[in-house]
Every structure is written in C-alpha cells, then in structure tokens.
Amino acid sequence: MAESKAAQVRALVDQLNGWRRAYYTEDAPVVEDHVYDAAYRALQALEATDPDLILPDSPTQAVGDVVLPDFTKVPHPLPMLSMGDVFSLDELTDWAARLEAGVAQPVDYHVELKIDGLSLALVYENGQLVQGSTRGDGNIGEDVTANVRTIKDIPQTLAEPLSLEVRGECYMPKAAFAQLNAAREADGASTFANPRNAAAGSLRQLDPKVTEQRQLATFMYTLIDPAQYGVTTQHEAIAFMQRLGFATNPSSVVATDLSAIDAYITAQTADRDTLAYGIDGIVVKVNDLALQAQLGNTVKVPRWEIAYKFPPEEAATVVQDIEWTIGRTGVVTPTAVMTPVALAGTTVARASLHNVDYIQAKDIRIGDTVMLHKAGDIIPEVSQVVLAKRPAASVPAPIPANCPSCDQPLVHLDDEVALRCINPMCPAQVQEQLTHFASRNAMNIDGLGPKIIAQLQALGLVQDVADLYTLTAADLSVLDKFKEKSVNNLLKAIANSRQNSVERLLFGLGIRHVGSKAARILAEHFGDLDHLMTAAVEDVAEIKGIGPIIADSAVTYFRTEAVHTLVAALRQAGVNLTYKGQVVAADGAFAGQTLVVTGKFTAFSRPELTAKLTALGAKVTGSVSKKTDLLIAGEAAGSKLAKAQSLGVPVMDEAALLDKLQ
C-alpha cells in the first residue's frame, strides 16, 4: 500500500509540475484551473496521510515557478508567498474558526476581489520608481522595470517623496484581452488561454514596446513595512497607497463576521460578468496588520489570508458543425457551431476553435459533447471534450486542404499555427480587405459596409480597393435598395476619401502588423508613399516606434509587383499619397520640453492646444512630476497646478502662452 501511495504521489507531482511549467513559465496553460486544483488537493490529501511521502519537487512546497533566464534576477527580501485556497463557504468557515481559536481578540477581515493576473512588486526611492519585479519562485523574481514603466496606471513619481515597496496584481482588462487575441488570430499566431496568461506574457516581454501595446493595468494591495507610515490595518494600507497615486480596487470592504463575507461573495459573484477585468475568487485577510504578523506564515502561505475560489462556470453542449472562414490576411479560422446553451449570462451557439493545432490537441469532433467556459469571462471557448458521450461512429474533424472561398490550396507556414490562403484574389479575403479599407479608422468611406461590398463583388464591379474609385452612379444604381440619395452619398464619401492623409491609406491597405499608430509614424517619417516604397528594411526598423517586425512586413509588402500595380491604380484615381499631418518642428518654441496642460482655455480646445504644442516640439504628458519642464494652466487648473507649485515646476497661463506663440 505504501508503494502504491508513493507511486500516486510521484505521478501527481510530475503531472502538476508539467501543468505548472505550462502555466507559469510558458504562459500557455494546458488544463483549466479547476482541473489543476482538483489534482493539487488530491496530492495534498495523500501527503497529509504520511509526511514522508512529500517529495522535494512537490508543488505543495513551491511558490510560483522558475525565473526565466532572459531576465535579471531580483531577490525579494520579504518572500512573495502564494495563498491557500478554499472552495466553499463551509471550508472558509472552518479556516476562520481555526484562525480565531488561536488568537485572544475579535477578528475583523478585509475582503477583496481576487484579480486574475500575476503578482508584481514595485520599489520607489524618494518617490521615484526604481524597480518592478515579478514574484518568480517567491524568493527571486524577474526584473521587469522597463516594461513596468509603460503601464499607464503605475505612477513614475509618488504624491509624496517616500521610499517604499508595494505589491499587487498586474492584469489585462477584458476588452484588451479580446482585442489582443483577435489580432493574434488574424495574424496566424497562437491565442492566449486567459487574461492572466496574456498579462504574464505581456509583462515578461524583452521589448517594452510590446508591453506598452498590450494595455496592462494594476491593482496594488500590499504595503511593505506599513508601521513606519503609521498604517495599522489593511483597510488603511489600501487608502494610503491610493493617496500616493497607486491604482487600488474600490470593491474591498471590512467584514466583522462570516455572514458579511458571505454577503460580499454573493454580491460579487452576481456582478462578476459586468466587471471590466477578470476575477477568479475572493481574498479574505485579517484586517489588523499587527495580528497578521503575529499569525505569521507556513513555508508557502500566510496563515492570515485565504482565497475563496469561484466554482468553474461551465456548460455542456454538442458540436453540430465546424465552419471555416477566411480573414483579410488569409488566415483560415475554424468555428464550432453548437446547440445553443446558456453560459455566464448569455446564450452561446458558436465558439472559435482558433486553428488546426487547437482542434487536434483537444481532439474536438463533430457530434462531440463539449464543456464550454468563457475565457476572460467574455470569449466562449471549449475547455474539454466529454469522451464518455462521444458517438461510436465518431471520426476526427476534417481539415480542409483547399480554401473554402476560392478553392486554392491552403498552406501552413513554418512560423504560424494557422492555415492560410495565399491567393491575393481570394473573394473572401478581398471582401474583408475592402471592408477594412472603408472602415472609419482607415479611409472612412461612410455607407460602404460588408453587405454593399458583397453586392459589388457579386456584380463583378470591384476586385480590389482601387476599383472603388472607378464606380459610377450607373454602377451603384443597380444595388439592392439603392436610390438616388444613397448613390450620391456613397459617391461623395468615396470622393472625399481621395483627400485623406496617406497614413489612412497605409492603414487601410491592411499590411500585416501595420496598425493605425505605425501607419502614422511611417507617414510622418517618409512624407509620402513613394519614399516608403523604396526604403530599406534597416532604415524603416530604426524609426522610433516601428522595430524590425513592422519594418520587414512593410518592406516585403511594397516589394510585391501586385502592390506596385495597385498603388499605380490608386494614384491614377487621384488618391492622395502624401502626409498631410503636422510635422514636429525640431526648432519649435517648445522643442525638447516636457509639458503638462491643465484647466480650461478660451483660444483653444485641449486637443487643439496639445496638437499645437506637439507640433512645436513639445512632449505633452498627463501628469506633473519633477521631470515636467512647464505646466500650461488655464482656468480652474486644480490639483495639477498645486502639485507643479509644490515641485517648483514653472507655470505659464494662457495670456503668456499666446504671447509666446505670436
């Protein structure tokens, strides 16, 4: 029996450690949290029967995971521990009873949301951010200071010049998570399983520019050495950190008993789907910080806090079909069409299956009963197949060899997980490209939506974006429900788009990796499309904000003969190919200065003034710090004016500004 238990322990340790590597180190989990939790609790139960069974590499003895070799190591003087878990109110009640039995005073609790992110430590010296690090293995983390500086809600300068350390959670908002996965899927890249792994993968980037694009955010909840600031409770610590400028979660409360904690859990569970960020439970902490210190820690977890984990929110349904659709970049995406089922407040009938590798790894087949959950509480996703309900005649899902739109062979490029159609005239791709080209952030051709484009294609009137500029009133008059007013409005919108600044055209062309921001940077740098089309990769890559990936994609695109033909057609149609935006003056009145604008102005709107100052060489930021060269203050300037005065930052009013601009 002892050998049998030892073998079970060894198997569970190996399995859990493999899952931990995928979750913590590779940021690519292979099982859902509740599956890991069940195996972890089974291991704990076995180890509890005989402590001699505990292995040195058991995950019950570890915190976090290994530090990635590409990062500088950061020792944590005070270890960053993980938390114990409970999965029901009964287990939470038992934990509280054990805790209260060991102390001789009434216990108040601080109850907080458990944010679905990764732990982060921030160190400040004299009010200035000097270091950011991950938890790592609890004792040694990874130095991610450069990446942390790109996160907007982390203050670079505190409201007071204090030297301190705070800890909290770095997370990815739901909207940013959905946007990131959609962009990765369109590019043929693998998607993130959940916001936590997306946040971890984004914070642990070697290029801070990538981190900056990922829209990360934070909530701070731990103040190290609080006594030196006169802080005695967790509730006071949250308020103190908020005053210093940190983002703290507004949902925390102080509870005096289990009934109040239960009410908080009930309310937050009901509101969970409405939050802008993911949560996977509730954290209960002893509120009195002195009592926390008295209770202390085990080798792995604090005795004074516990995490109540939400039960998995899943629903079973049947895969009726798998549809394959083509995006504008040629990526072929499979979608499961399922029996409609209620899940997390909505009815779900479709779920992306991402790519061929995903289907094969989970062995998803037509006719399978599958369990659904919502990744990040928003995106329906298949978590597992219920093999016990698989039909006897089941066969693996068919993988298309040819494009479902143009019937050309599909390819699986070496650096991608996606199938791709590389036929530039594929009707499905052309429709998506035309829709993107006409969209608001691209050429902004109002009234030219997917349904109109589909009709134009069906009639053979457009095959690429240049054909839009050859359309006539006679062409449009044959469209369904298109009367004279609709025809004139669309022709006017197409004509107006000819005058757009070239960055809109660049974005509208749908060049891989070239978003609206990169398009503007390229347009501003080169001035027109002709100079960009003849640029070398090295020259483009050196532009601030671009880098080698965007450079390679843009240069490769413009080397294509078909693209040269397309640009020639656009030029012939009178489409503007030059940059019309303001060029920043290197010798402008505010060249090289960091400015902050606050208050109300009579001669400008705030956006107009910001654009004008930027054109004169200024860097306009949103917060006042010691690095601010000048505060431009209108009426009702408020706290930014007070802070500038306290830091000795020069202040200029509107009258003085107008004099300088003359």
**Active-site residue numbers?**
114
For residue 550, what are its two tokens? Answer: 């965007």
d(CA 44, CA 53) in angstroms, rounded, equals 10
Helix axes 427-438, 450-458, angle to 10 degrees: 140
| Residue written as token pair 């705070």 | 166
Note the residue count of the chain. Answer: 662
d(CA 194, CA 34) in angstroms, rounded, equals 14
- How many Cβ atoms are within 10 Å of 238's Cβ, its own excluded? 23
For residue 507, what are its two tokens? Answer: 């974005």
DSSP secondary-structure letter at 411?
B
DSSP state letters, 251-304:
T-EEESSHHHHHHHHHHHHHHGGGSSS-EEEEEEEESBHHHHHHH-B-SSSBTT
For residue 113, what are its two tokens? Answer: 């949301």
Instruction: Answer yes or no: are the C-beta atoms of 361 and 385 closer than 8 Å.
Output: no
Is 661 exposed, middle or buried, given 0-12, 13-18 or 19+ CB atoms closer than 10 A?
middle
DSSP secondary-structure letter at 599?
S
Pairing assessment for the beta strands 331-343 and 346-352 based on DSSP bridges? antiparallel
For residue 278, what are its two tokens? Answer: 């993911």
Listed residue (296, 136, 125) closest to 203, CA to CA? 136
| Residue written as token pair 């590597």 | 21
Instruction: Answer yes or no: are the C-beta atoms of 457 and 369 closer than 8 Å.
Output: no
Instruction: Answer yes or no: are the C-beta atoms of 6 and 53 closer than 8 Å.
Output: yes
- Residue 549 Cα to chain centre, angstroms: 20
DSSP state letters, 81-127:
---EEE-SHHHHHHHHHHHHHT-SS---EEEEEEESSEEEEEEEETT
d(CA 314, CA 373) in angstroms, rounded, equals 5
SS3 call for 627 = coil
| Residue written as token pair 């022709």 | 491
For residue 99, what are its two tokens? Answer: 């805790």
> How far is the CA of 117 from the CAs of 33, 110, 174, 653, in angstroms?
13, 20, 11, 43
Report residue 261: phi and psi, to 5°. -65, -45
Instruction: Answer yes or no: are the C-beta atoms of 305 and 99 closer than 8 Å.
Output: no
For residue 431, what are its two tokens? Answer: 């429709």
- How many Cβ atoms are within 10 Å of 275's Cβ, its own excluded? 15
For residue 543, what are its two tokens? Answer: 């532009």
Listed residue (18, 502, 99) closest to 298, CA to CA? 99
d(CA 225, CA 593) in angstroms, rounded, equals 37
- How many Cβ atoms are within 10 Å of 546's Cβ, its own excluded? 20
Instruction: Answer yes or no: are the C-beta atoms of 148 and 154 closer than 8 Å.
Output: yes
For residue 81, what are its two tokens? Answer: 């521990």
d(CA 38, CA 312) in angstroms, rounded, equals 12
